[in-house]
Chains A and B, each alone.
Chain A
Amino acid sequence: AQSVAQPEDQVNVAEGNPLTVKCTYSVSGNPYLFWYVQYPNRGLQFLLKYITGDNLVKGSYGFEAEFNKSQTSFHLKKPSALVSDSALYFCAVRDRGTGFQKLVFGTGTRLLVSP
């Protein structure tokens, strides 16, 4: 089965510093990978996706993610963190079952940006 792993429960970074939230994947076939963000008391919001093409994909709010096939990773990055980026971040992979319509989410990583 397709799966993603987020090895860090929490990431702490100071405002203005670069941030990285890690994700590794395990898939058969070509991976379709995604990042979502969840702000407190809100639903998840789509940030970005990788399907094919350039290994560096850009998304909303200045976030980007780097696809690395050899390391089976899809880390989320931002050059300069904002306090408002503090939220729960989920990596996801498209599942192969039932016509590739389901997303399987990782366990989430809480990002805390301090002023």
Chain B
Amino acid sequence: DAGVIQSPRHEVTEMGQEVTLRCKPISGHDYLFWYRQTMMRGLELLIYFNNNVPIDDSGMPEDRFSAKMPNASFSTLKIQPSEPRDSAVYFCASSNKPGLGIYTFGSGTRLTVV
């Protein structure tokens, strides 16, 4: 298995533009998590899905952020409109044993909003 695949690896966009981050989880993993990593706030859980259904989105910063999982092999995190404070590394992780704390993370998308 190729692991959790995220795209793009790097994204630079102008303030106000829409940004879409993509994630392909490991086949057979029924949980998918989106995390954001910044120097100031560390790793924050934004939202997670179980069997394509959003379970907890309490970490989503505001209405500018939205996430979808249309099928078991694909998820998107969208920011519209983007702001400079959204600059961070966004990680996607998947798991089939979340209760055991075993996640597989993707390599992340480094987002820079200028």
Interface pair B93/A43, CB less than 8 Å apart: yes
Nearest CB of chain A from residue B19's CB, rounded to whole Å: 19
Nearest CB of chain A from residue B7's CB, rounded to whole Å: 13
Q: Which residues of A contact B31 (CB under 8 A)?
A: 101
Shortest Cβ distance from A49 into B: residue: B101
Interface pair A43/B107, CB less than 8 Å apart: yes
- Residue from the list A43, A101, A108 in contact with B99, Cβ < 8 A: A101
Interface pair A102/B100, CB less than 8 Å apart: no
Shortest Cβ distance from A42 into B: residue: B107
Shortest Cβ distance from A90 into B: residue: B43
With contacts A49-B100, A90-B43 taken as known, whether A101 is within 8 angstroms of B105 at the C-beta atoms is no
With contacts A101-B31, A101-B55, A101-B98 taken as known, whether A44 is within 8 angstroms of B105 at the C-beta atoms is yes
With contacts A43-B4, A108-B42 taken as known, whether A51 is within 8 angstroms of B100 at the C-beta atoms is yes
In the complex, A47→B87 CA distance in Å? Answer: 28
Nearest CB of chain A from residue B92's CB, rounded to whole Å: 8
A-B pair count, CB < 8 Å, reads 63
A28 interfacial contact with B, CB 8 Å: no
B50 interfacial contact with A, CB 8 Å: yes
- Residue from the list A43, A45, A99, A103 in contact with B101, Cβ < 8 A: A103
- Residue from the list B42, B99, B106 in contact with A94, Cβ < 8 A: B99
With contacts A101-B31, A102-B48 taken as known, whether A94 is within 8 angstroms of B108 at the C-beta atoms is no
- Number of B interface residues in the complex (CB < 8 A): 23
With contacts A43-B107, A44-B91, A102-B48 taken as known, whether A49 is within 8 angstroms of B102 at the C-beta atoms is yes
Shortest Cβ distance from A98 into B: residue: B56
Q: Which residues of A contact B107 (CB under 8 A)?
A: 41-43
Q: Which residues of A contact B101 (CB under 8 A)?
A: 32, 34, 46, 49, 92, 94, 103
Shortest Cβ distance from A102 into B: residue: B45
Interface of B with A (CB < 8 Å)? 4, 31, 33, 42-43, 45, 48, 50, 55-56, 91, 93, 98-108
| 13 A–B contacts from the bound complex (CB under 8 Å) | A32-B100, A43-B106, A45-B105, A49-B101, A92-B101, A94-B101, A98-B55, A100-B99, A101-B50, A101-B55, A102-B33, A104-B45, A105-B43
